[in-house]
């Protein structure tokens, strides 16, 4: 079965290692296509999105060698420019290959990318930005063909902050002829990781970590070895699990500096947060209190990817609170599922009003996307009785083994 079975009610205690970042490694793998040689990527998470990306890269004539959490990518033989529809359709991150492939081969043919259904995520900004760099794009009903006789630098002023568009334009710009400027660039740690990888390989990028990236195109990049940073969203999920269930948890390797907004939200709910260079210690002995108001925002604000997990924790907090979603309009898909467990949640457009309850009750639930699915698992860990979360495959897109990790902290859950 494609499900997770949970027997809830246990407090969490112990330590869990935080895996490599999903959101960082996918564009880094795309960046490896720009290098005519072998790149070694360490701390690569063993998740289905990575498996899909590696298979897609193999279809483009990359040679992939995986040994545990280390992946060696040899892109010397890259020649194909058409992406298999079955691979592109299951993961949105396949769009990251667009800028890199155009720089490497000059042409791309692909379907529109798939992924989680959490709201409108058009690729207009990607395509418009590439057109400014000399790419001719012909759109079809199910996809598009893109071709260039040579990428040229351009000035991009993004009308909205877009992580994906920023990443794609960076990938296209590092080997382009001339200079590229990206105004209103995303500042997420995943952008920084991508730029660090490319700079280590010989790219010329200034303004990393700011809203203005300046990229001077170079003739070629060289082979590089790079370690993927820890996943701040996985760390935040397990922090929220401690909020849900209570207990004392150490998140080994959690990236403290990237999680300031998350730690502040947890502290506002009554959790004790202790940061160190080794990770984050979370203590939640007393009953949670409702945060004064939680609003998702672009980095360094509270991440939309943790909205569902903290919503699960808020259902068990004392008092009433409001959670506002400003990034995706369809991120409250778990609300009906939480209501089945006894949660009291009222939806109002892009906000939910939560009235805390004493307990949640286990039941059969259905994951509909990655982060919401993980949130249902941690809600099940806090609930009384048995829960089953169906559609485990959504969760495995971003979590190496959520059951193993939570069981190492004292939860009772297993794959079905």
Over the stretch 319-334, which tens digit does the pLDDT of each residue have?
999 999 999 767 789 9
Structure tokens at 350: 């892009």
Q: Residue 79: its pLDDT value, please?
A: 78
Distance CA 374, CA 394 (A): 9
* Angle at alpha carbon of residue 71, lines to 29 and 377, rounded to 5°: 80
**What mean pLDDT is predicted for residues 16-20?**
98
Structure tokens at 292: 């004064």
Which of 331, 367, 359, 363 lies closest to 347, judged by CA?
331
For the full predicted model, state whether its pTM sits above 0.85.
Answer: yes
Distance CA 35, CA 219 (A): 11
- Burial of 151 (C-beta count, 10 Å sphere; 0-12/13-18/19+): buried
- Residue 414 is inside which H or E element, if any? strand 412-415
Q: What does the pLDDT look like over 374-389, one tens digit per residue?
A: 999 999 999 999 999 9
Q: What does the pLDDT look like over 150-175, one tens digit per residue?
A: 999 999 999 999 999 999 999 999 99
Q: Which of 44, 62, 116, 256 is catalytic?
A: 116
Distance CA 323, CA 348 (A): 10
| Sheet of 294-295, strands arranged across | 294-295, 320-324, 351-355, 344-348
Contacts for 255 with CB less than 8 Å, ≥ 6 apart = 18, 189, 229, 230, 232, 235
Q: What are the E-state strand segments in 349-399?
A: 351-355, 364-366, 386-390
Q: What does the pLDDT look like over 24-70, one tens digit per residue?
A: 999 999 999 999 999 999 999 999 999 999 998 998 999 999 999 99
Q: Residue 93: its pLDDT value, please?
A: 67
Buried b (16+ CB within 10 A) or exposed e, 350-371: bebebebbeebebeebbbbbbb
- Active site (annotated) includes residue 284: no
305 contacts 371 by C-beta, under 8 angstroms: yes
Distance CA 327, CA 161 (A): 10
Q: Residue 173: its pLDDT value, please?
A: 98
Question: For the chain, first and last CA: distance in Å?
Answer: 5
Structure tokens at 206: 């200034």
């Amino acid at each position: 079965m494609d499900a997770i079975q949970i027997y809830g009610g246990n407090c969490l205690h112990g330590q869990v290692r935080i895996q490599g970042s999903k959101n960082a490694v996918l564009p880094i793998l795309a960046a490896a296509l720009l290098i005519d040689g072998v790149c070694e990527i360490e701390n690569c998470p063993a998740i289905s999105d990575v498996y899909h990306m590696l298979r897609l890269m193999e279809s483009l004539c990359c040679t992939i060698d995986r040994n545990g959490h280390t992946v060696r990518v040899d892109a010397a033989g890259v020649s194909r420019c058409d992406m298999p529809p079955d691979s592109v359709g299951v993961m949105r991150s396949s769009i990251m290959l667009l800028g890199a492939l155009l720089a490497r081969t000059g042409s791309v043919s692909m379907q529109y990318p798939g992924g989680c259904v959490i709201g409108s995520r058009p690729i207009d900004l990607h395509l418009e930005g590439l057109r400014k760099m000399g790419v001719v794009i012909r759109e079809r009903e199910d996809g598009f063909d893109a071709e260039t006789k040579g990428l040229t630098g351009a000035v991009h002023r993004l009308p909205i902050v877009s992580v994906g568009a920023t990443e794609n334009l960076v990938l296209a710009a590092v080997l382009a002829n001339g200079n590229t400027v990206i105004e209103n660039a995303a500042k997420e740690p995943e952008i920084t990781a991508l730029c660090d990888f490319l700079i280590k390989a010989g790219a010329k990028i200034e303004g990393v970590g700011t809203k203005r990236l300046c990229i001077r195109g170079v003739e070629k990049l060289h082979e590089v070895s790079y370690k993927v940073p820890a996943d701040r969203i996985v760390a935040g999920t397990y922090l929220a699990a401690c909020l849900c269930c209570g207990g004392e948890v150490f998140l080994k390797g959690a990236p403290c500096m990237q999680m300031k907004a998350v730690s502040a939200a947890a502290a506002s709910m009554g959790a004790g947060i202790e940061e160190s260079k080794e990770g984050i210690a979370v203590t939640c002995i007393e009953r949670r209190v409702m945060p004064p108001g939680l609003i998702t925002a672009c980095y360094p604000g509270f991440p939309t990817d943790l909205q569902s997990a903290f919503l699960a924790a808020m259902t068990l907090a004392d008092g009433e609170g409001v959670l506002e979603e400003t990034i995706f309009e369809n991120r409250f898909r778990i609300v009906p599922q939480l209501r089945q467990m006894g949660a009291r949640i009222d939806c109002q457009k892009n906000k939910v009003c939560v009235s805390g309850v004493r307990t949640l009750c286990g039941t059969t639930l259905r994951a509909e996307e990655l982060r919401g699915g993980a949130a249902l698992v941690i809600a099940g860990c806090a609930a009384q009785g048995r829960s089953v979360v169906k559609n485990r495959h959504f969760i495995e897109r971003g979590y190496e083994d959520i059951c193993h990790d939570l069981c190492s902290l004292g939860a009772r859950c297993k794959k079905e």
